[in-house]
Amino acid sequence: KKVKVLSVKDPAEIPWTDLGVEIVIEATGIFTLKNDGVNKKGREVRGAVNHISKGGAKKVIITAPAKEEDLTIVMGVNDDRYDPNEHHVVSNASCTTNCLAPVAKVLQQKFGIKRGLMTTVHSYTNDQQILDLPHSDLRRARAAGLSIIPTTTGAARAVALVLPELKGKLNGFAMRVPTPNVSVVDFVAELAQSPVSAEEINAALKEAAENGLNGIMDYNELPLVSSDYNGDPHSSIVDGLSTMVIADNLIKVVAWYDNEWGYSCRVADLVAFMVNKGL
């Protein structure tokens, strides 16, 4: 099979209609705005909608948090909201949001979440430097392989895009670490239900992983480490051994995720889902 390769910087100049492309996976990390504008790095960029309005595609999936998108979708959490007649430029959120959101959904439905904070211990990415070099984030300017690097993430707040009832209740930050792949979310929350036990929390998460969130979330009680999850296709793998509760309703849940392969599997799932629902 031959695959046509183009060298074009402007989404508006790619002839998707001529190429027979209906869904564009916008994975450059550059065109995360729906419309033309200035991105978070202060750079003027074309909007992802140009893939449709100029290029002739039917849908665009942005593989990152987006701005002005028609809908942010996390598979297993809010994919039921997709309307092919209204949602044309969609975001698949971030790998971290895809990890946290299924866990938050189960906890919210079973126990209620009053507030929560998340820390993602995240492998370094290509947004960082391999040596100390200029970067808009002075911490990300430091050599990725030599330090634990605190930095920002909107992943926890973005959960509210797919679980609106949690708007204003979650926040968090990231610790970038010198490992090439696989990350872990450490989620601490105050639950509405009190008292609650670690066993009850694990039972709820395990039940969801085996049923409604099967294939999206997994549950594990083996004493594994990050490298063991390399290549795992799930968005979120709950580490049942690490669940904690104090003061009746202050809980900690830890969930692993392959931030590359697991997320890529969800992008493929989203493409198949949108095709099935209609373009």
Checking if the pLDDT of 273 tops 90, the result is: yes
Mean pLDDT of 4-27: 95
Per the prediction, the chain carries an average pLDDT of 96
Tell me: cis bond preceding 180? Omega within 30 of 0 counts.
Answer: no
Identity at 201, one-letter amino acid code: I
Q: Which is catalytic among the residues 57, 61, 71, 95?
A: 95
Annotated active-site residue 95? The verdict is: yes
CATH code of the domain made up of 16-93+264-277: 3.40.50.720
Q: Where are the domains of the chain?
A: 16-93+264-277, 95-259
CATH topology of 16-93+264-277 equal to that of 95-259?
Answer: no
* Whole-number Å distance between alpha carbons of 86 and 191: 35
263 or 2: which leads in pLDDT: 263
Checking if the pLDDT of 41 tops 80, the result is: no
Confidence class of residue 226 from pLDDT cuts 50, 70 and 90? very high
| CA distances (Å), origin 264, targets 48, 77, 190, 271 | 19, 17, 31, 11
* Whole-number Å distance between alpha carbons of 71 and 95: 16
Checking if the pLDDT of 40 tops 80, the result is: no
Mean pLDDT of 31-50: 91
Side-chain-side CA neighbours of residue 22 (13 Å): 7
Looking at domain 95-259, which CATH architecture does it have?
2-Layer Sandwich (3.30)
Considering the chain, what percentage of its residues have pLDDT values greater than 90? 94
